[in-house]
Chains A and B, each alone.
Chain A
């Protein structure tokens, strides 16, 4: 399977008469873009732009999406199969990527556990989305709209907008083409008989409305763990539909840029043999956690894996999924490393996990979600500044009179994302 990501670099975003990329600037035709995201669920829809370095806060943020569209491969149409494109297997042919741009969805209904993005200042250090040129979709739902319908409408509107932006730039010349090519596990194992065979288990929240992950358009709540070719992950098969704590949800942007997938790929054929990605749903019930952990380990055994990287999504009860998965892999004699964040309390003195197991002896930390940070006031607020009171990691006292905020790190979107996208990690002091 061969995938080419045709990356068009975006270094700035501005309004324009036509949507296009010119000289590294993404011009957005607001009227056409708004036309794309029309939905009966919205009373009001607006677009805003936010650039790196600006004194801008976006709050509350629900998802971030990289603008992409298929150029060829599959049916060569649109993106996010099952959502914006007809059903097709993702991961082959060519995909256009507006690299350096992101669609950010922002809604006025809070209590979805959303987070915020500061485009400059202390908060900006912790999120990748302060470095992207953002087209922010701000919506207000029609009155009385069921929250679940609202979530679905906003999720799909974000995907549509991302696809629209890329589609409008289809003729742009790529600044860089990244190629991802790998055969079947049997072929690759024959090619590299001496390299350790590595599986990646991407645990994904699947815990009911507003806490879901979608693969090929389907909610995976009732799914078993299953194997994907890494190219499928890098090409829009996985979409975030969840609103767990902002810091450690895998946004849709994160999925298509999954760093574990990219870094395993980079070393494939050099010092390891990358088998593939098992998506494992994080269930709400213990039986589901045990089952999915066992079945993930079984995929590893069937593929003859020597090692596995396991990443968590969320904290608290998913710590149990993480422990069980590590335990069953180790019991099957497959070496494990887990990536997880920590909830060590605002003083860092509490134990960090809600569950533990001795087999989990190789742990990569993506930071203490409870650590307090102060973020300076921003000149421009996209959304609602007061929403911080209801976000995980915020409180009624968070927003100070001068507009600065004293908040837990977990309110910054993507700040401790457990697929290891960032450089933050916890250590003992």
Chain B
């Protein structure tokens, strides 16, 4: 039995007309329409385009909630195994409609979906993390290529075949890094890439450089004598026995400990569980990572007013930047709320 496919296209590709009928309401036509005929050819006997939803780009954009609900209702009734939208190429409203309806079909109905867009289509930025968007040319000149990739990917999803990388499958990646066993080992891939680069040939890096956020430092504390200072560390210093089971590496959490009753960190009360440095000395004297002893002295001398009663701690090794960013934001927020004026961050 062939798989059932429902195809979504706009008023133009549905043969209803151009901008003058952009408010065309979602309607169902049996079988393939427009680009759907080519799609059907590509599917061959494996899948059948049972219905085509045609909707005006203006209508979807202006009544997004309503249009989505109307289209979903049609899809639900047709019970397809696969949903395909577009391709939208570089058409902005069409792209957003394709992305939105695919995301809804996946999320609400659990039906695999594929659309296609030019990478600069605004629909890409909005929906590429949620759905499979095949990379297309910027205009209908690339129709055949786009449909070929979409049909191929769609069939793989239908059959639950393991997918290769986004590059291999031809879709715009969803922002996820995944391990694969490659044909050549790393050293050979590097030498090939280097010779291509030297020869001025095109080469494909396996990871494009990320852009880091620049965080401006806070202005200096004007009145240290009246300031509250907190201690925060990524050095993995925790109460002995690691009560919150902070991980030795790749931390996905941080912990907060009351140090208001302590003057000194000793091997009896605290330890380092950090998996990324020689923690022998930190375990002889945890103050070398979290300088509580010195902070207490300075507090008594009145160099600053008060040490914040809580120590925040995590393990900074193999910790993903996304987690580290979240820890920073949350800890910063709590410290701000608690009226802390300055923080000493110790890393290892």
Please give the residue numbers on chain A whose beta carbons come within 8 Å of chain B beta carbons, in ascending order: 111, 113, 125, 147-148, 196, 198, 207-211, 244-245, 259-260, 262-264, 267, 271-272, 306-309, 315-316, 335-339, 342-358, 360-371, 390-397, 408-410, 418-429
Contact = CB atoms under 8 A, between A and B. Distances in A.
B252 A392 contact: no
A267 B191 CA distance: 9
B185 A393 contact: no
B61 interface: no
Contacts of A316: 276, 316-318
Contacts of B247: 395
30 contacts: A111-B279, A113-B275, A196-B195, A198-B191, A245-B249, A264-B191, A307-B198, A308-B194, A309-B194, A337-B191, A346-B320, A348-B176, A348-B177, A349-B322, A350-B320, A351-B212, A352-B207, A355-B212, A362-B205, A363-B207, A363-B208, A392-B248, A394-B248, A408-B318, A420-B185, A424-B181, A426-B207, A427-B165, A428-B177, A429-B174
B280 to A, nearest CB: 5
Interface in B165-181: 165-168, 173-181
Contacts of B180: 424-427
Given A344-B320, A391-B275, 7 more contacts: A271-B195, A307-B194, A354-B321, A362-B193, A369-B250, A428-B176, A428-B178
Contact of B206 (A245, A356, A408, A425): A425
B27 interface: no
Contacts, number: 241
Given A208-B278, A307-B194, A362-B197, A263 B187 contact: yes
B217 interface: no
B214 to A, nearest CB: 12
Interface residues of B, number: 60
Interface string B253-276: 000000000000000000001011
Contacts of B194: 198, 307-309, 335-337, 362
Nearest to A371: B179
Interface string B226-261: 000000000000000000010111101000000000
A391 B248 contact: yes
Q: Chain A contact residues: over half helix, strand or loop, or mixed? A: loop
B197 A345 contact: no
Contact of B177 (A306, A393, A426): A426
A408 B175 CA distance: 20
Nearest to A261: B187
Contacts of A262: 187
A368 B322 CA distance: 14
A237 B119 CA distance: 50
A343 B250 contact: yes
Closest CB pairs A-B (n = 3): A420-B186, A427-B165, A345-B320
B189 interface: yes
A22 B245 CA distance: 50
B179 A364 contact: no
A259 B185 contact: yes
B323 A422 contact: no
Contacts of A336: 194, 197
- A358, A393, A427: residue with the most chain B Cβ atoms closer than 10 Å: A427
- B165, B198, B207, B247: residue with the most chain A Cβ atoms closer than 10 Å: B207
